Amino acid sequence: MVCLGQASLFAQAISLDEAVPEQMYVHLDKPFYATGESMWYKVYFLNQQESNSEILYVDLIDPAGNLVTRQKLEKDRYYAHGNIEIPFTWQEGYYLLRCYTLWNLNFGAKAIFSRHIPIYNPWDETKTLSTPEDDTDMGQITVDSSQRQAQDLRIKLQADRDSYDRKEEVQLSITVTDANQNPVEASLSLAVTDMSLIPAVINTAIKQQSAGNTFADSALDRQEITYAPEKSLKLQADILAPGTAQPVTTEFLSVYFVEKQTFVNTAINQGQLQINIPHFEGSQTVQIHNHNPFQASVPSVQLDHRAALLPQPERPATSPPRDASVEKYLYYSKLRRKLEEIFEAETPPSSLSPSSGNGVLPLQPDKSYLMQDFQLLKNVEEFIDHVFTKVRIVKKDGRKTVRLFDPNAQKFLEDQPWYMINGYLTAREEAVLQIPVQNIERLDVFYRRSTITQYFPPLMIRNGVVAIYTKDRKKPEELMEANNTFTWEGLAQPKDFELPATRRNTADKVPDFRPLVFWHPQILANNSGQATVTFPTTEAVGRFLIYVEAVSKEGKTGTGYTTYMVEFPNP
């Protein structure tokens, strides 16, 4: 499915020949990874004057070509940052990191940033893992000769000292200037790594890209403006009638976000749903219903899978090599993991884990019942029949159905109620009526017009709502339609790089020999070109690399690096 409305309007303001993609570049904290680690990254927009998108996508694709991670990020000024957790179970191989905006899909594969990342599995028993023979540094800092080029920005890094004791604080001053030594305001990202564990190969792949000339025209595959720059989270889908698969036209479609208990009401024509969604982080369960009484209430939903528009990733023919430096890194990676197990370091709940409360205020029903007082009744049908006042249980089409009574209007509602089980909407009334009372904690009823319109789509005043909360609060899989319920990803939750002292309750017991000493993607040099950063050293001794990448407001780029030593204190 392709929704062209917004793109067509955008195309009126810009011709196809004038349109250019948004040039993105990704700075990673390390050149390779082991399973069980985090991949920290920052995305820079280089041609900032042509960058109109606010939402961008970061994909990670495994060696078999399967999409294993997709993150949506919101642009902050002209960059975004995030991290990808690498499970211990992932297979070893080259993974493809892919970064793009919806707008860039108009220009073909050349407009998508991609890079193959080696990920190793130290616990893969089919691989040989040798013990390192010595504990020396990896060698001198090397810069790929193909990357040696004149840079727009000059980055000067100055630590307050040349050497430090273990677990001592480093104070770093950063100065950003242009080729004429004039100060430049810029955004920077910084990685500090242990040179005895990670080869110090300076990656200066971030290059100058002049505004308006980001790509050579011959490299682009312009066809038509299908997607406009994405300004907010957007849900796009085809809404089809069940059974016939015909596109639905209705004025009364509701998009219900279960965890937030929020409805978005909209009209659709010929089945095309395209709505902007308020930004949220993490994932939400979404249910789509049609409240037109003359159409099926539970439609079939086919999501717009934009991944189908992306080019098929190239699969490297070989696995990443395990040279001496990699073997050493993996050996100490396993060793650090065993130390954590020995000291029983407590890992905190991930920031991606759902909390016990979702911050949503409870709905205020017209009537609420605590079911502990009605445990002698058999099921919901019996409870409604014996406890509700002015309610009808009638037979229709050979089955029993309920009609609630609105005391304000002094009449019964026109159709069967909508049932909400632990927050999930269902129209399967016959199954709901058989839920045992002994399994229910609370039952709420919404029957007044004013109450229903406050919380639910307006046309539900024909039905009313019966909300049931079971004792186990589980998702009622058996009562839900699979074709209108799905999980939809919002923005990736931002996560800051945490030092061990803030990450583990028993951190003081666990030796700190991490290879990535520090990562900071949100450094801003002021209009005087100045910035300062403070971070602690680890318990390891040796030489450490501080590496910085930067982009100015005008899209000018630069890199800088320096080193410091950590030594044993003099006796």
Q: What is the pLDDT of residues 91-135, one digit of tens each?
A: 999 999 999 998 998 888 888 999 999 999 998 877 777 777 665
pLDDT of residue 571 exceeding 50, the answer is: yes
For tokens 């009808």, what's the residue? Answer: 392
Q: What is the pLDDT of residues 519-554, one digit of tens each?
A: 999 999 999 999 999 999 999 999 999 999 999 988
State the average pLDDT over residues 23-52: 93
Q: What is the pLDDT of residues 459-482, one digit of tens each?
A: 999 999 999 999 999 999 989 888
pLDDT at 460: 94
4 or 130, greater pLDDT: 130
Confidence band for 416, pLDDT divided at 50, 70 and 90: very high
State the average pLDDT over residues 431-444: 95
pLDDT of residue 356 exceeding 70, the answer is: no
Residue 225 CB coordination number (10 Å):
20
Cα-atom radius of gyration of the chain, to the nearest Å?
29
Q: Any residues with CB less than 8 A from the CB of 241 and at least 6 apart, and which?
A: 247, 248, 295, 296, 299, 300
* Residues 467/363, Cβ–Cβ less than 8 Å: yes
Q: Averaging pLDDT over each range in 3-17, 204-218, 468-482, which range is the top one?
A: 468-482
∠ CA 71-89-324, rounded to 5°: 100
What mean pLDDT, rounded, does the chain reach? 85
Token pair listed for 160? 């307050």
pLDDT at 546: 96
Q: What DSSP string runs through 339-386?
A: HHHHTTPPPPPPTTSPPS--SPPPP--SEEEEGGGGTTS-BHHHHHHH
Q: What is the pLDDT of residues 282-310, one digit of tens each?
A: 999 999 999 999 999 999 999 876 666 68
pLDDT of residue 204 exceeding 80, the answer is: no
Q: What DSSP string runs through 483-535?
A: GGEEEEE-BPPP-----HHHH-TTGGGS----SEEEEEEEEEE-TTSEEEEEE
**Does this model's pTM top 0.85?**
no
Q: What is the pLDDT of residues 338-347, one digit of tens each?
A: 877 776 544 4
pLDDT at 214: 45
